[in-house]
Amino acid sequence: MSGPSQSPAVIAGRTDFGGQPVHAPSGPPLLEASNITVRFGGVVAVKDISLAVRPGEILGLIGPNGAGKTTLFNALTGFVKASEGRVAFDGRDITHAQPQVRAKLGMARTFQVERPFEDLSVLENVLVAAFLKYRGRAAENHAYDVLERVGLADRAAQPASQLNLARRRRLELAKALALEPRMLFLDESIAGLNPPGQQEMVALIRQLAQSGLGIVMVEHIMHVIMSLSDHVICMAFGELLAEGDPHDVAAHPDVIRAYLGDDDD
């Protein structure tokens, strides 16, 4: 089975990024998904998954390749239609809402493969999103504020095509933040970055959560997601394998088997 070469339990013990989150989100959930099932023809990609995310909370989705994480992620954000179940945002049923409707309500996402407008400047890329909220000088000021927030203000005039991977990831995040979301979905925003880049992105994500943003993360770098997440859901073959505190999930025997296989395999 493909996946990390180390047990999640071993990786969860690492403290590269300062250990567990210090904030403790409370209050009613902002995002609720109940009994989500996604079918593609006769294939069940996601089966009966439920979750809830509060403002300021980070939910990590983990699992081996092919576990159904991305499909669930896409069902939550409206890019894939749920075959069964219900998705609610701030108490409103959005199960059948298109992505642009969800964005207007306060949901934004990044993509695993960055999609900048290569011929536009960094600022112009963010302005495209900012114009959905503001006009004229207000949009430009908002875009600059977002670039400053993600550490790209000094690159505002640079063509997006000239950015390295770490800055492209920050630009992808800036485009999402320009929509002023209350719930942010991060699709492997840290994968592929070198250790300093990982640490910078982790610090930024923590700041976003501490500002009150609810965050759902799909990430394959186990020590990153275990360090960041308040709550973790592990999937395998489209189904829930384990959920709860990151360390408890990492130590769960079924999770360890999913990543490393049985001893007698």
pLDDT at 139: 96
CATH no. of 20-106+183-264:
3.40.50.300
Taking the model in full, what pTM does it have? 0.88
Extents of the domains making up the chain: 20-106+183-264, 110-180
pLDDT at 217 over 60: yes
| 77-116 per-position pLDDT tens digit | 999 999 999 999 999 999 999 999 999 999 999 998 888 9
| 230-265 per-position pLDDT tens digit | 999 999 999 999 999 999 998 999 998 887 666 554
Residue 138 CB contacts under 8 Å (≥ 6 apart), including other chains: none
pLDDT bucket at 142, cuts 50 / 70 / 90: very high
Three-state DSSP string of the chain: CCCCCCCHHHHHCCCCCCCCCCCCCCCCCCEEEEEEEEEECCEEEEEEEEEEECCCCEEEEECCCCCCHHHHHHHHHCCCCCCEEEEEECCEECCCCCHHHHHHHCEEECCCCCCCCCCCEHHHHHHHHHCCCCCHHHHHHHHHHHHHHHCCHHHCCCEHHHCCHHHHHHHHHHHHHCCCCCEEEEECCCCCCCHHHHHHHHHHHHHHHHCCCEEEEECCCHHHHHHHCCEEEEEECCEEEEEECHHHHHCCHHHHHHHHCCCCC
pLDDT at 261: 67
| 7-42 per-position pLDDT tens digit | 555 444 444 555 544 455 668 999 999 999 999 999
